[in-house]
Amino acid sequence: MKIQQVIKENRLALLFQQGSFGIEKESQRVYADGSIVVTEHPKSFGDRAYHPYIQTDFAESQLELITPPNKNIEDTFRWLSAIHEVVLRTMPQDEYVFPLSMPAKLPREDQIKVAQLENPVDVAYREHLVKSYGKSKQMVSGIHYNFQLDPTLVQQLFSGQNDYQSAVDFQNDLYLKIARNFLRYQWILVYLLAATPTVDTNYFRDGTPLKPGQYVRSLRSSQYGYVNDPSVKISYDSLQDYVNTLEHAVNSGQLIAEKELYSNVRLRGAKHARELLQNGIQYLEFRLFDLNPFEPYGIGLNDAKFVHYFILLMAWLDEESTESAVNLGKEKLAQVALEDPLSPTAFQAEGEQVLHQLLAMLADIHSDEKIKNIVKDKLTQFANPTQTLSARLVKAIEEHGSYQKLGAKLAIRYKEQAFERFYALSAFDNMELSTQALMFDAIQKGLKIEILDERDQFLSLQFGDHLEYVKNGNMTSHDSYISPLIMENKVVTKKVLAKSGFNVPQSVEFTDIKQAIAGYPLFAGRAVVIKPKSTNYGLGISIFQQSVHDREDFAKAIEIAFREDKEIMVEDYLSGTEYRFFVLGDETLAVLLRVPANVIGDGVHTVAELVAQKNDHPLRGDGSRTPLKKITLGDIEQLQLKEQGLTADSIPPKDQLVQLRANSNISTGGDSIDMTDQMHPSYKALAVGITKAMGAAVCGVDLIIPDLTKPAEPHLGSWGVIEANFNPMMMMHIFPYMGQSRRVTQNVLNMLFPELK
């Protein structure tokens, strides 16, 4: 199978480097000292019966985190990060995720609980594993790396050759070639990436084989690791051989099931091996990776890229490893696994030679300089074994006194890191915070997420066959199209609300500036708001809070409004406080009061100092990706201070409220205060009614209410609705400055998937 040549001749180099990537990562839940928990799999992680991201592996304490497949490894890492953040922020306060493959301070065997799965077959399988391998071995964790070549590449490679008549046969043999060559050279990855140099003595049933102070490269990949009995012989010569030998091993009782095959390469694409003969091999699973404790998610991105190109080399090489070559590879692996991490490997020359071949391939396919540098760095590690991961790990263990102490320290650090921006899903921070929150909840719940368009905040969510689309966090199929169209148009909104009997301020619309000014007598002596018909950002709005009594003032306000729109409205001004009601379906889930940017004096600090103190709040940031914004001391704020007879250097007396803005927008440093429990229920019911009149499922209703404690009365003096908003903001309810958090994104998911409630 001459791959190189076809790739070069058909200019397939770029396609060759594409593919699909998935990562599964096992790890133990531990207490702060690194010892394994005895608690159940947390209910807050959702239901294991279907969860696509958060599962348990062998033991109840052993998490298995699974990314969806992605077209590039970077995205897979984003998922790995996101799932970790969900797990770390959701798990019990006193629990952590152990960053090392080898468990520390294992409980007594009788205290290790196998995963309490619903299906009795799954539990029986685990009980069998206990008998065959003992519980300790099953507690070892690692990384599985799934890789699929781009199907178009496989198709083009097939078109570019003459040896195969069948595309499926070609595809199978291509994957088998990779598998065999990988098994032949896998020791190189163990040399470079292994990270299981030691383990507690009680890990071994019959006493430790390690001399005091002895470290090895990879206990996990050694005969002491998670490996099948040497008598299990599986052939990779052809797919038919693979299926036959695997089925023989099961039928003869060597394995209880096909999935007990702990080979470092599994052929994937069907539930049972025999089905592969029909379907063809779809992708490969590589299983030999120890957790890298220096990486928060168990594997570094550069290492993952290195693995990708190492796998590609296995396809690229003209070499087709025979069964004896595969066996040679396995022997080398066993030997390298038990080598001293600080000494050179016995096979240094071969390792360097293979990496030189890899560099040659990278040159041929014009790959990125970055990946070349990664390979060059790995190459130098053959001459410098202390730079290998296992050597660096040994050093760290020595420094900390034990791998348990090292693991515990790192586990605590990684959990702290996951809380640094507790309101975000770091890896998806280019999306809106509300979409991040929704994804957080969906990952937690176990809904399958597909990001259809990242810039557009467009997700699909799936549970079984039930598929829903969500844009911008709460735009869904539950709203009818006409609702946002109504809400987009203030005039139409008011007509619809008035028709339904809700209190709306009366207004007159104008499309002509002269006519509008000529209409002054209609409004003289009344408190009015003059505003453009369709802007939404407070631009062009003038308020005559007491009453308008000067024709010139009126005309000026009309002109300002016409600058923003071709149509303006003069509307009754309502006095009272504005509250935002977040309504979903039949319920007002949250009520928020927005207060203009302000500080409160303490008689000691200047305004500038008080602002700096307030800006220290973890929810406040400069950019758009924080729930609250820092207060700036710009021109507008200075002017506002001046009106109160203050400057930034004034020291306001204790408890004096210093107003820094007139507008209450969160985006200009305003405070958000949850008032859900304080609000009289009659107003909450009104907001629901208004939402229904809009035909909306999710709506942000702005009511003006003079006294939120008194029940609503049917006149405009008691309450009035000034706006209804589709796609209402959610973050300000989830992370208010003061008051209780309302996790409204969870309600959105409950609305979309009531079957999951």
Q: Tell me which residues touch its own copies (CB under 8 A).
A: 11-15, 450, 452-453, 455-456, 458, 460, 467, 469-471, 475-486, 489, 491-492, 495-496, 499, 511, 518-519, 521-522, 524, 566-567, 695, 726
Give the separation between CA 55 and CA 46, rounded to whole angstroms.
9
- Closest CA relative to residue 79, chosen from 301, 303, 269, 412: 301
Q: Crossing angle, helix 403-418 and helix 73-90, to 10 degrees?
A: 90
**Residues paired with 659 in a beta bridge:** 598
For residues 352 and 364, which CB has a smaller minimum distance to its own copies in the complex?
Answer: 364
For residues 153 and 232, which CB has a smaller minimum distance to its own copies in the complex?
Answer: 153
**Least gap, CB of 525 to its own copies (angstroms):** 9
**Least gap, CB of 499 to its own copies (angstroms):** 8
For residues 16 and 203, which CB has a smaller minimum distance to its own copies in the complex?
Answer: 16
**Least gap, CB of 633 to its own copies (angstroms):** 34
For residues 309 and 403, which CB has a smaller minimum distance to its own copies in the complex?
Answer: 309
What DSSP string runs through 710-728?
Answer: SPP-SSTTT-EEEEEESS-
Rg (CA), the chain: 32
Q: Crossing angle, helix 301-316 and helix 348-364, to 10 degrees?
A: 80
**Least gap, CB of 471 to its own copies (angstroms):** 5
* Burial profile 253-268: b = 16 or more Cβ within 10 angstroms, e = fewer: ebbbebebbbbbbbbb
**Least gap, CB of 474 to its own copies (angstroms):** 10
For residues 393 and 749, which CB has a smaller minimum distance to its own copies in the complex?
Answer: 749
For residues 334 and 513, which CB has a smaller minimum distance to its own copies in the complex?
Answer: 513
Name the residue type at position 684.
K
**Least gap, CB of 695 to its own copies (angstroms):** 6
For residues 491 and 657, which CB has a smaller minimum distance to its own copies in the complex?
Answer: 491
Q: Crossing angle, helix 301-316 and helix 73-90, to 10 degrees?
A: 140
**Least gap, CB of 492 to its own copies (angstroms):** 5
Spatial CB neighbours of 190, under 8 Å, sequence gap ≥ 6? 217, 218, 221, 288, 333, 336, 337
Coil vs helix vs strand at 198: coil
**Least gap, CB of 575 to its own copies (angstroms):** 20
Coil vs helix vs strand at 35: coil
What are the structure tokens assigned to 312, written together?
């590609």
Give the separation between CA 142 and CA 57, rounded to whole angstroms.
11
Coil vs helix vs strand at 738: strand
For residues 11 and 271, which CB has a smaller minimum distance to its own copies in the complex?
Answer: 11
**Least gap, CB of 719 to its own copies (angstroms):** 22
For residues 409 and 478, which CB has a smaller minimum distance to its own copies in the complex?
Answer: 478
**Residues paired with 591 in a beta bridge:** 581
- Closest CA relative to residue 51, chosen from 30, 72, 66: 66
Phi, psi of 752 (to 5 degrees): -70, -35
Q: Are 151 and 291 within 8 A, CB to CB? A: no
